[in-house]
C-alpha cells in the first residue's frame, strides 16, 4: 500500500476522523482491488467522495435509499467484492437496521459498515441526525463487531483492520475534528483495551472521541487535584476486553465510563454487565441520558449534556471522594 503521501498525524493536531476515513479508503483501494464503496448521497460529507474520485468504477452511488444500498452491498459481496457501506450512522443502523441484521449479519456477508457522524457531532443537525443508540443496536446483533476509534491515528489503523477481519464489521466514526493522541505508528488491536494513562486513584473507561477528552481530564485531575486517574480506551466495544474490565474493577472498585452515545446499551452498559457478572463494582455511566439531543454547536452541546472535559473531571472527583455512593 502506498503510504508515502499520506497525511502526517502529529500528536496534538486535530483532524476530522471522517476525512481520515476517506483518505484511508483511497489508500486501501490500491491494496484491495476488490474493495468497493457504496454511498447514499452523503459521500461529500462522509468523505467517501475521495474514493469516488480515485476509483470511479468501484464506487456505487445508490441514491438516498439506505435499505437498497445495504442489500446491494450484500449482493456484491457474493461476487468477491468487499463493499464498504458508508452513510450517517443513524440511518445505517436504524433505517437500514433490519437489512444490516438480516441481509448482512445473518448471512455473514463480507460487508464493512461505516457509521459516519456517530453520536453528537452532526454539524448542527440536531436530534434527527444524532446517532446516540447505534452502538447499542449493533452490539445486540449477533456476531457483529463494533469498533469505535479514539483519534485520527486509530481511525486510520481501524479502517485497515476492518479490511482484515472476515465478515461484517461496524465501524463508528465522527464528523468533528479530534486531537491526535496516538503516535503515528500505533497499531489497532482488535478486541484489546488500551491503557493510555495510568493512575492509582480512579479509572475512566472510554471509547471513541471521548477518549481524548478523558485523557485531557486525567491530565487536569493530576495537575489540579492530585487525583491520579487511569484512562483505559476501548477501541473495540464488541467483543469487549472483559479481562481489562475485570482488572479495572478489582484495582479501583468504581469505574467511570465515558462515551459519545446513550447510556442505554453502549460501552457503559457493556462494562456494567461485565463487572456484574465477573467482578462486581460500581459503574458510573457518563453519556446521553435517555434523551434526544438538541441542535447547536458541538462543544456547547457536550457541555449541555454534562460531557465536557471539566464535567468529566468533576465526575472523577466525586468518585475519588467517594461521593454519590449508596451506603
Partner 1 sequence: MMDSLANSGKGGVQGAPPDAEKPLGAEKALDAEKALDAEKALDAEKALDARLDAIFSRGPLPAVTSKLSLEQRIEQLERIALELRYTILAVTEAAGAGHTGGSLSMAELITVLYFYLLNVDPADPAKVDRDRFILSKGHTTPGYYSALALRGYFAADVLRTFDQIGSPLQAHPDMHKCPGVDYSTGSLGQGLSIGIGMAMGGAAAGRNFRTVVLLGDGELQEGQVWEAAMYAGNRPVRRLIAILDYNKVQLAAATAETLNLEPLADKWKAFNWQVLECQGNDISSCLPVMEQAFALAENGPVIVAAHTVKGKGVSFMENTHIWHGKAPDRRELLAAFAELDAAKKSGRSGAGIMVEDQVRGIGGTSQ
Residues taking part in catalysis? 66
247 lines the binding site for partner 1 (CB under 8 A):
no
Largest pairwise CA distance in the chain:
64
- Contact stretch for partner 1 (CB under 8 A) within 104-112, 179-187, 226-234, 240-248: 104-112
The dihedral built from the CA positions of residue 131, 52, 149 and 317, taken in this order, carries a sign that is: negative
103 lines the binding site for partner 1 (CB under 8 A):
yes
Binds partner 1 by CB under 8 A, chosen from 26, 28, 72, 215 = 72
Q: Which is nearer to partner 1, 74 or 312 (CB)?
A: 74
Q: Which is nearer to partner 1, 60 or 117 (CB)?
A: 60
Please state, in angstroms and rounded to a whole number, the distance separating the CA atoms of residues 179 and 186: 15
Binds partner 1 by CB under 8 A, chosen from 54, 67, 125, 279 = 67
* Separate counts of helices (H) and strands (E) for the chain: 13, 14
Backbone angles phi, psi at 183, to 5 degrees: -60, 150
Binds partner 1 by CB under 8 A, chosen from 2, 4, 8, 80 = 80
54 lines the binding site for partner 1 (CB under 8 A):
no
75 lines the binding site for partner 1 (CB under 8 A):
yes
**Can you tell me whether residue 49 is helix, strand or coil?**
helix
79 lines the binding site for partner 1 (CB under 8 A):
yes
Question: Binding pattern to partner 1, positions 255-294, x when CB under 8 A?
Answer: ----------------------------------------
- Contact stretch for partner 1 (CB under 8 A) within 80-88, 134-142, 171-179, 184-192: 80-88
Q: Using only C-alpha atoms, what is the Rg of the chain?
A: 19
Angle between helices 152-164 and 17-31 (to 10 degrees): 40
The dihedral built from the CA positions of residue 237, 242, 244 and 246, taken in this order, carries a sign that is: positive
98 lines the binding site for partner 1 (CB under 8 A):
yes
Please list the residues that pair with 204 across neighbouring strands. 231, 256
Please state, in angstroms and rounded to a whole number, the distance separating the CA atoms of residues 88 and 92: 6
Minimum Å gap between C-beta 269 and partner 1 is 26
81 lines the binding site for partner 1 (CB under 8 A):
yes
63 lines the binding site for partner 1 (CB under 8 A):
yes
124 lines the binding site for partner 1 (CB under 8 A):
no
Cβ(303)–Cβ(134) below 8 Å: no
Which of these, 198, 150, 197, 204, lies nearest to 317 by C-alpha position?
Answer: 204
Q: Which is nearer to partner 1, 94 or 282 (CB)?
A: 94
77 lines the binding site for partner 1 (CB under 8 A):
yes
DSSP states of 247-287:
HHHHHHSEEEEEEEEESSSSHHHHHHHHHHHHS--EEEEEE
73 lines the binding site for partner 1 (CB under 8 A):
yes
- Binding residues (CB under 8 A) for partner 1: these are 57, 60, 62-63, 65, 67-81, 83, 98-99, 102-103, 106-108
Amino acid at each position: 500500500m502506498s503510504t508515502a503521501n499520506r497525511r502526517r498525524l502529529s500528536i496534538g493536531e486535530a483532524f476530522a476522523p471522517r476525512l481520515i476515513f476517506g483518505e484511508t479508503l483511497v489508500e486501501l483501494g490500491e491494496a484491495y482491488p476488490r474493495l468497493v464503496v457504496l454511498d447514499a448521497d452523503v459521500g461529500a460529507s462522509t468523505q467517501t467522495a475521495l474514493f469516488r474520485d480515485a476509483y470511479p468504477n468501484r464506487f456505487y452511488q445508490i441514491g438516498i435509499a439506505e435499505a437498497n444500498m445495504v442489500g446491494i452491498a450484500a449482493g456484491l459481496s457474493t461476487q468477491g467484492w468487499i463493499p464498504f457501506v458508508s452513510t450517517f450512522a443513524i440511518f445505517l443502523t436504524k433505517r437500514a437496521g433490519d437489512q444490516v441484521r438480516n441481509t448482512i449479519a445473518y448471512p455473514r456477508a463480507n460487508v464493512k459498515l461505516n457509521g459516519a457522524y456517530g453520536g453528537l457531532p452532526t454539524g448542527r443537525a440536531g436530534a434527527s441526525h444524532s446517532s446516540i443508540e447505534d452502538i447499542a443496536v449493533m452490539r445486540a446483533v449477533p456476531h457483529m463487531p463494533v469498533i469505535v476509534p479514539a483519534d485520527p491515528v486509530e481511525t486510520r489503523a481501524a479502517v485497515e483492520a476492518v479490511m482484515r477481519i472476515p465478515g461484517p464489521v461496524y465501524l463508528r466514526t465522527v464528523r468533528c475534528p479530534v486531537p491526535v493522541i496516538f503516535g503515528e505508528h500505533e497499531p489497532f488491536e482488535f478486541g484489546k483495551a488500551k491503557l493510555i494513562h495510568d493512575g492509582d486513584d480512579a479509572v475512566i473507561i472510554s471509547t471513541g472521541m471521548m477518549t481524548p477528552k478523558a485523557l485531557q481530564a486525567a491530565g487536569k485531575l493530576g495537575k489540579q487535584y492530585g487525583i491520579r486517574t487511569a484512562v483505559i480506551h476501548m477501541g473495540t466495544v464488541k467483543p469487549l476486553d472483559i479481562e481489562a474490565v475485570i482488572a479495572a474493577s478489582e484495582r479501583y472498585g468504581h469505574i467511570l465510563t465515558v462515551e459519545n452515545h446513550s447510556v442505554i446499551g453502549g460501552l457503559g452498559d457493556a462494562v456494567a454487565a461485565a463487572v456484574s457478572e465477573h467482578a462486581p463494582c460500581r459503574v458510573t455511566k457518563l453519556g446521553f441520558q435517555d434523551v434526544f439531543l438538541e441542535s447547536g454547536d458541538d462543544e456547547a452541546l457536550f457541555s449541555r449534556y454534562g460531557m465536557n472535559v471539566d464535567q468529566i473531571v468533576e465526575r472523577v472527583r466525586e468518585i475519588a471522594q467517594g461521593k454519590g455512593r449508596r451506603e
